[in-house]
């Protein structure tokens, strides 16, 4: 699915809005994500931390798991923004390795990851973000062919 510039800007705006809900008292780094389904629904997420650190869940996974639990399966893009929680975003926040693997479970090669530094918008495909990705079967890359 082709996503136009206006849709990208809307997704980034929704990710920024979601970022304000981040619970990050330990890192002080707030992240927001907005996930677009192929039928144009948007699911958002923010990172949620824990005092024992490892249970922390990234914004991207909060968005994906909420969407999956709601029955969504086909995705076209996710916008991600992050930075120090008491400041406006000023640099790009690229998804961590764990989130890339979770994305890989549900997204095809042309799925778009849209990043903003508060000024510019850039994008990268699933294929470029996680090359030679692991799947038990080739047909399982990003779900339905
Ligand atoms: N974080 C995300 O939410 N997404 C990413 O892709 C990178 C990192 C969060 C996890 C943690 O709460 C904080 O940012 C600092 O690592």
Active-site residue numbers? 60
Residue 143 pLDDT exceeds 70: no
Ligand 1 centroid distance, CA of 84 (Å)? 11
Q: Which atom of ligand 1 is nearest to the CA of 30?
A: 14
CB 82 within 8 A of CB 32: yes
Radius of gyration of the chain (CA): 14
Residue 145 pLDDT exceeds 70: no
Query: Does 95 contact ligand 1 (Cβ within 6 A)?
Result: yes
**β-bridge mates for residue 29, sequence order:** 84
Query: Does 59 contact ligand 1 (Cβ within 6 A)?
Result: yes
Ligand 1 centroid distance, CA of 142 (Å)? 23
Q: Model confidence at 137, in pLDDT bands (50, 70, 90)?
A: confident
Atom 4 of ligand 1: nearest residue by CA position: 58
Domains in the chain (CATH in brackets) are: 5-139 (3.40.140.10)
CB 28 within 8 A of CB 84: yes
Residue 29 pLDDT exceeds 50: yes
Tens digit of each residue's pLDDT (9 = 90 or more) over 42-97: 999 999 999 999 999 999 999 999 999 999 999 999 999 999 999 999 999 999 99
């Amino acid at each position: 699915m082709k996503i136009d510039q206006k849709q990208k800007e809307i997704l980034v705006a929704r990710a920024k809005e979601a970022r304000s809900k981040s619970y990050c008292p330990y890192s002080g780094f707030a992240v927001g994500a907005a996930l677009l389904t192929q039928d144009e629904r948007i699911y958002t997420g923010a990172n949620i931390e824990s005092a024992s650190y490892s249970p922390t869940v990234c914004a991207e996974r909060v968005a994906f798991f909420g969407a999956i639990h709601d029955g969504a399966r086909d995705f076209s893009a996710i916008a991600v923004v992050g930075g120090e929680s008491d400041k406006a975003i000023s640099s790009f926040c690229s998804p961590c390795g764990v989130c890339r693997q979770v994305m890989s479970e549900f997204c095809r090669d042309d799925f778009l990851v849209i990043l903003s530094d508060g000024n510019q918008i850039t994008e990268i495909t699933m294929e470029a973000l996680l090359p030679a990705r692991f799947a038990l079967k080739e047909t399982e890359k990003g779900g339905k062919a």
